[in-house]
Amino acid sequence: MKITIVTRNIKNFENNINQVDTYGRGNLDDALAIKKILSERGHDVKILEVDIDLYENLKSEKPDVIFNLADDGFYDDPRMEPHVAALFDILKIPYTGNNYFTLALCQNKARAKEILTYNGILTPKWQVFNNSNRKLNPELKFPLIVKPIREDGSVGIKERSVVKNDEELKEQIEHILDVYQQEALVEEFIDGREFNVGIIGNKKLTVLPIAEIDFSELPPNIPRVVSYRAKWVKQSIAFKKTPVVCPANIDEKLQKDLEEISKKCYKIFGCQGYARLDIRYDEKENKIYVLELNPNPDISEDGGLAREAKTAGISYENLILKIIDLALKKEV
């Protein structure tokens, strides 16, 4: 079988001052690791980067299936991530993961939260700012967290993203507007337990063992948040003091509730293939809040989805093969 792995344009990525180069190179490393797995099973595998020639290159290659690792869109613009999947549809080539519509629905965090709220799913109260002089909705109470409205991988989230007063709020909104050139999403900060819930499947869904971010060893001056440093900068205190526990130490009822809410979200957004949900649990109020749904999560061997699959007894090799199989059976 001919398989093409499509990954982000690494050269363009390394010129992006807003992100760390190793994050981009990691995407290429993932492509090489997946190519090795598939090649060893006799498949004809080629890696293509997302650039202006991608359409013609795919027409020339005529792969049987595409492994989609292109999470940064065309021209290094995350807003154009769905366009890559749409191109695959235009060429009528099966591909892994979610389609352009699901990717687009989840991309704008505020729109996604509106969909969650409409469907009765709890999510932290929020407000969108396109300038720092806009008045804060009185329904929102400090502490708040300020994020770029369109980013993943915790890009744009720092320790100081959690704000406690109007002055800090204004400063962080201006930072997002200036550095990331997009609106700022401000939401109430739920200081609770944080879970990652991975799901694989099209119609028949498999919820992988739930993982929890352990904040217990974080110094008291560092907010309990998965910042960019906590996720990617291995030498940082934030990274070292926020280990992931999988399976999470939770009771049967909470596990069932997390699984059911996650499956409901997966279906609401029309997910296929695989996805991951980030969820906060307020133990005092006994409430589960969905922070976001990531329809194109990290698929690296040491990433969250692979870790959860391994806990379920699914090797990384078998996870990759399963994702390919789901792509070939995806509903159009």
Type of residue found at 104:
A
Average pLDDT for residues 158-184, to the nearest whole number? 95
Pick the closest to residue 207 from 250, 258, 278 (CA basis): 258
pLDDT at 332 over 70: no
Range list of β-strands (E), the chain: 2-7, 44-49, 65-69, 126-129, 144-148, 162-163, 184-188, 193-201, 205-207, 211-213, 244-245, 273-282, 287-294
Distances (CA, A) of 265 to 7, 105, 236, 278, 282: 27, 12, 33, 11, 19
pLDDT reported for residue 331: 67
**Burial, 213: exposed, middle or buried (Cβ in 10 Å; 0-12, 13-18, 19+)?**
buried
Pick the closest to residue 244 from 221, 207, 281, 213 (CA basis): 213
Does the pTM surpass 0.95? The reply is no
pLDDT at 3 over 80: yes
The per-residue pLDDT of the chain, averaged, comes to 92
Which tokens go with 267?
A: 């279906």
Q: Within the chain, how many helices (H) and strands (E) appear?
A: 12, 13
